[in-house]
Amino acid sequence: MTGPLTDLEILLNMQFLKLLNSMTSRTVVHKPPVRKVAIFGGTHGNELSGIYLVKHWQEYGAEIQRTGVEVKPFISNPRAVKKCTRYIDCDLNRVFDPDNLGRTVVEDIPYEVRRAQEINHIFGPKGSDDAYDLIFDLHNTTSNMGCTLILEDSRDDFTIQMSHYIKNALAPERCPILLIEHPTLKYATTRSVAKHLVGVEVGPQPHGVVRADILEKMRKTVKHGLDFVHLFNKGKEFPPCTVEVYKIMEEVDYPRNKNDEITAIIHPKLQDQDWQPLNKGDPLFLTLDGEVIAYKGDSTVYPTFINEAAYYEKNQAFVKTVKVKLTAECIRS
């Protein structure tokens, strides 16, 4: 017969019961397994890392296959890829909106709009139960963004958990997460036909060029993403997580004259400083007369896509972001 419990034993029992209660009361969000995954390369025909990888995987796909998952590598814009140009008629990564996807196909319809409808037919329809579960869309940038993940939905527990997994897998290499969810900036991206979507943006790399180090970063990112899918499908439970992301706030144009010509260029102290804090008074632009144009905002922001070559036509010198935290519930297949 045992004697009465000591104060220490009572305390330990209370702590154990408290831990047991927290473990059993945790909310687990059950989600369907991921069975159909696509990897897009060549959404822009001169961003070569994704194009080289997708073409390789189309012939030698063993490294991207995972048990119980159909993984389809796909060239999004074959005509632009053949010409090694960003697009033929218009930006494919901006036309997956209801108006363009529903346009009547006529002879003079832009090639990319027609292609968007084809992609929507193969991998969608967008917003339907039949759409692909996940699309990785592979891109390069001339900006010094490193290996960036791009999310579009702050409430998607699956992609937040995947981003958290990829960041940890790539550590200590930096892997910023850009959230492009915005009330007025609508992107209508190629990958948006899927239920879950992740953009992989790796740079700096000149357009029309492929660099081995940049390609390898992209390759590792896709591998870790597919590993996450495999673990999720096996029933692994991913506990609640929080990730720091850079939320897009504004697209900033270059200074221009009355003829809409650029009058100042990115200041040397801003060049290549993607994701670094920008404070009031810091230099932004430099005129050809040597005048420094400073940042006048009152709050700290984090610029990215700084001096991206493809965005000159979009009147965009960089985008302003702010740091926010995204949380995801515990998920399990």
For the annotated catalytic residues, the residue numbers are 201
Is 27 known as a binding-site position?
Answer: no
**CB contact set of 124 (below 8 Å; sequence gap of 6+):** 130, 131, 132, 193, 194
Residue 216 in contact with residue 284, Cβ under 8 Å?
Answer: no
Q: How far apart are CA 10 and CA 163, in angstroms?
A: 42
Is 164 known as a binding-site position?
Answer: no
Opening angle at CA 164, ends 249 and 201, nearest 5: 55
Is 52 known as a binding-site position?
Answer: no
Q: How far apart are CA 242 and CA 240, in angstroms?
A: 7
Is 188 known as a binding-site position?
Answer: yes
CA dist 289 to 57, 256, 293, Å? 50, 14, 11
Is 187 known as a binding-site position?
Answer: yes
Q: Which candidate, 235, 56, 67, 73, places its Cα nearest to that of 138? A: 73
Q: How far apart are CA 265 and CA 143, in angstroms?
A: 14
The size of the chain, in residues, is: 333
Is 94 known as a binding-site position?
Answer: yes
Question: Which ranges constitute the DSSP H helices of the chain?
Answer: 7-25, 48-59, 78-83, 98-101, 111-123, 157-170, 212-233
Is 155 known as a binding-site position?
Answer: no
Residue 292 in contact with residue 286, Cβ under 8 Å?
Answer: yes
Is 47 known as a binding-site position?
Answer: yes
SS3 303: strand
Is 148 known as a binding-site position?
Answer: no
Q: Which residues are annotated as a binding site for N-acetyl-L-aspartate?
A: 86, 201, 311
